[in-house]
Chains A and B, each alone.
Chain A
Amino acid sequence: MGRVRFATRADGPAERMTGFIAHLRLNGFVAGVDETAKAMDALGRLDVTDLAASRLALKTLLSGCREDWVRFDEVFDSYWSSGGRVRHETARQSRAGPDSRTTRRSLDLPGLSDQSGSPDMADNGTGEADGDGTGRLMASDIKALARRDLREFVSPEDIALAEAAAEQIANAIRDRHARRYRTGKGPVLDLRRTIRDSVRTSGEPIRLHRRHKPDRPAQLVALCDVSGSMTVYARVFLAFIKGLMSSAKTTDAYLFHTRLVRITDALRDRDTLRAVNRLSLMADGFGGGTRIGANLDVFNRLYAKRLVSGRSVVMILSDGYDTDPPERIAAALKALGRRGCRILWLNPLKGWKGYEPVARGMAAALPHLDHFAAANTLQCLEDLAPQLRRL
């Protein structure tokens, strides 16, 4: 990406506009040569001496999603009137990777205005939890354990193993309720093809073509617990989630400990090392305590409304040790279940001999789960596939 020449130093409107587009690109907008031409064309139709009108016109032309829309004025001012600062603090990292993504998130997600995955605070829904003195002390104690590098948790070999398991699972959980028809064997007559064919046999529909609704992969949502009690399993689970992401591109992933972090964009990065680096940046608080109920609440409030539907399978990877009251987990899971999704809970402890779900959180969660399974080794995860087919 080239150097930005500022408006005052460029000569001619075309060069200034090119400079502005480059400036937008540096600030994370998706804009190119085509956009420059369109912008010039649009300005040609307006009174260019009217700064406010030009700004409005460029705003609608060059923004592509809500974040662009909100940020545009600031970026516009810094190019056309200040001639100084180039890059804003809010420039999104996620656009930096050339191959990392094909779609842009444009969700109304408070706390995620910056896509590099700022953590969402798990409060009590009233926004007052952090004002509470004891709560803050607790939190800082826990975060003292934080900032452990995730690199030591995910090695390339793990990823290869986990990917195989993840692929089987992603294939097992297929949605059988696709609504589009495809030509093939099925119960419904494909009239278009049948009639086209019947012209050959003078109107006698002898060869009947049929249509069917193909299975399609379900939307997977993975919520992974990375609290202190789960540390030993974190490497397996992260590798597993990375595997899920690469076999089903619509998979959505989150980490939670005392807070919930959306890691979908970080994991979608094809460069594993870079993905892991980005993860460790956002895993502030990794290895601390857990607040499952509160995090599920946050998930319900911020993400589930838009991203979880009847064709979703929500996978929770956790041991069920929660510092919140168990009713909270139950209520959050019930609310989540109302969205029509299927909920799986993979618990590494379940693989242990004589395990009973006595952790209060786990016991409270059980009635709301569609499937509860062990997950202490990759083998366990592989064994899941046949059972999930029945879900």
Chain B
Amino acid sequence: MTWQTLRTDLATQGYIAGDDLAMALHLAGSLERPLLLEGEAGVGKTELAKTLATLKSTQLIRLQCYEGLDASHALYEWNYQRQLLAIRAAAEEGVTGRETEDRIFSEDYLIARPLLQALQQDAPPVLLIDEIDRADEEFEAYLLEILSDFQVTIPELGTIAAKTRPHVILTANGTRDLSDALRRRCLYAYLDYPDRTTELAILAARHPGLEAHLCGQIVGFVQALRREDLEKKPGIAEMLDFAAALAGMGLNDLTDDPVALQKSLVTLLKTQRDRAAVPAEVAARLAGKAA
């Protein structure tokens, strides 16, 4: 498969990727290396992983990172309750300590968390490590072993190697700096807000029913809004919500009904300050320009 066919395949699933992104994803697949995606919130980083999973008809295993995430939530944990019961039962049956230990530290008593699950699959899954920059630096270091060797060492059990190599996608949006060590192990792609043509294609793929005229207006309006000084710029997901809202209200032209337009802005502007920064007149002006 070449990178061009990958791009076409993604498009049939409703994901419009640029040349550079398609190439990055293609190489990540053929070199079997993780892909690090950076970019603003709402440019389709997470969506790419979901689409890839659909495309390969494989499982998507998602690890959402957060501050304080540690191995017992990301990798594996022993099932303590079962272990306790087993030890008690063993003591009553008079089984030796050695046997008990062998039994309770076997895979039956292991709870696999996302990273371990990804290594245990028969068919290569898509492993999405979302917002890696939210996790602590310690966790990032821990991840290095897994990403370079695709194996996990459990002291009581030994080393578990991956049955198949998962397609790993990491996303980050700059909450903190990632280490060079992690960056060097990954392929890299930066996702920007799409240009007009791409965004129109995305809108057409996701809401095929909309008129071309309205589509042009929606995309023009959202792109103009991104140039305003906002705390949180509307992403692609917001744009799609906005389009759905307009379709739901039965609007055919943005400039028709300023009141309805203002109401539908709840789908685009997500903070009080941004709402105040785009009053009805500004919205009407932007809509007029977008037409």
Interface residues, chain B, CB within 8 Å of chain A? Answer: 3, 19-20, 23-24, 27-28, 30-31, 35, 38, 40, 67-68, 70, 72, 77-78, 80, 83-84, 87-88, 90-91, 97, 100-101, 104, 136, 138, 156, 174-180, 183-184, 187-190, 229, 231
A210 CB to nearest B CB, Å: 15
Residues of A within 8 A of B180 (CB): 30, 64, 102-104
- Asked whether, in the complex, the Cβ of A53 is within 8 Å of the Cβ of B188, the reply is no
Lowest 3 CB-CB distances: which A-B pairs, in order?
A179-B68, A203-B87, A60-B24
With A41-B31, A203-B90, A306-B175 known as contacts, the answer to whether A191 contacts B20 (CB < 8 A) is no
A207 CB to nearest B CB, Å: 14
A344 CB to nearest B CB, Å: 22
A-B contact list, 15 entries, CB within 8 Å: A34-B184, A45-B31, A53-B3, A60-B187, A60-B188, A60-B189, A65-B183, A104-B177, A106-B178, A179-B68, A191-B80, A192-B77, A202-B87, A203-B90, A306-B174
Complex: chain A residue closest to B31, CB-CB: A42
Cβ proximity bits A178-198 to B, threshold 8 Å, 1 near / 0 not = 111100000000011001101
Tell me if A359 counts as interface (CB < 8 A to partner B): no
Give the distance in Å from the alpha carbon of A124 to the alpha carbon of B174 in the complex.
26
Residues of A within 8 A of B72 (CB): 192
Contacts of A264-308 to chain B: CB distance below 8 A: 305-307
Residues of B within 8 A of A191 (CB): 78, 80
Give the distance in Å from the alpha carbon of A64 to the alpha carbon of B24 in the complex.
13
Give the distance in Å from the alpha carbon of A66 to the alpha carbon of B97 in the complex.
56
Give the distance in Å from the alpha carbon of A192 to the alpha carbon of B189 in the complex.
40
With A195-B78, A202-B91 known as contacts, the answer to whether A61 contacts B174 (CB < 8 A) is no
Give the distance in Å from the alpha carbon of A105 to the alpha carbon of B188 in the complex.
15
Residues of B within 8 A of A306 (CB): 174-176
Residues of A within 8 A of B35 (CB): 60
Residues of B within 8 A of A103 (CB): 177-180
Cβ proximity bits A299-327 to B, threshold 8 Å, 1 near / 0 not = 00000011101000000000000000000
- Asked whether, in the complex, the Cβ of A69 is within 8 Å of the Cβ of B190, the reply is yes
Tell me if A137 counts as interface (CB < 8 A to partner B): no
Give the distance in Å from the alpha carbon of A59 to the alpha carbon of B175 in the complex.
24
With A45-B30, A181-B70 known as contacts, the answer to whether A202 contacts B97 (CB < 8 A) is yes
- Asked whether, in the complex, the Cβ of A56 is within 8 Å of the Cβ of B84, the reply is no
- Asked whether, in the complex, the Cβ of B68 is within 8 Å of the Cβ of A53, the reply is no
Residues of A within 8 A of B68 (CB): 178-180
- Asked whether, in the complex, the Cβ of B20 is within 8 Å of the Cβ of A59, the reply is yes
Residues of A within 8 A of B179 (CB): 102-103
Indicate the member of A61, A104, A181, A200 with the most B CB atoms within 10 Å.
Answer: A61
Give the distance in Å from the alpha carbon of A70 to the alpha carbon of B39 in the complex.
12
With A69-B189, A70-B190 known as contacts, the answer to whether A108 contacts B174 (CB < 8 A) is yes
Tell me if A38 counts as interface (CB < 8 A to partner B): yes
Residues of A within 8 A of B40 (CB): 108
- Asked whether, in the complex, the Cβ of B87 is within 8 Å of the Cβ of A61, the reply is no
Complex: chain B residue closest to A62, CB-CB: B188
Residues of A within 8 A of B27 (CB): 42, 45, 57, 60-61
Cβ proximity bits A62-79 to B, threshold 8 Å, 1 near / 0 not = 011110111000000000
- Asked whether, in the complex, the Cβ of B19 is within 8 Å of the Cβ of A56, the reply is yes
Give the distance in Å from the alpha carbon of A306 to the alpha carbon of B70 in the complex.
23
Tell me if A107 counts as interface (CB < 8 A to partner B): yes
- A sample of 15 more A-B contacts (CB under 8 A), given A64-B188, A103-B179, A198-B84, is A53-B23, A56-B3, A60-B27, A60-B189, A61-B27, A64-B183, A65-B183, A68-B188, A102-B180, A178-B68, A180-B70, A180-B138, A191-B80, A199-B100, A199-B104
Complex: chain B residue closest to A126, CB-CB: B229
Residues of B within 8 A of A340 (CB): none
Complex: chain A residue closest to B67, CB-CB: A179
Indicate the member of A64, A68, A203, A205 with the most B CB atoms within 10 Å.
Answer: A203
Tell me if A125 counts as interface (CB < 8 A to partner B): yes
- Asked whether, in the complex, the Cβ of A64 is within 8 Å of the Cβ of B87, the reply is no
- Asked whether, in the complex, the Cβ of A106 is within 8 Å of the Cβ of B38, the reply is yes
Residues of A within 8 A of B97 (CB): 199-200, 202
- Asked whether, in the complex, the Cβ of A65 is within 8 Å of the Cβ of B188, the reply is yes
Residues of B within 8 A of A53 (CB): 3, 23
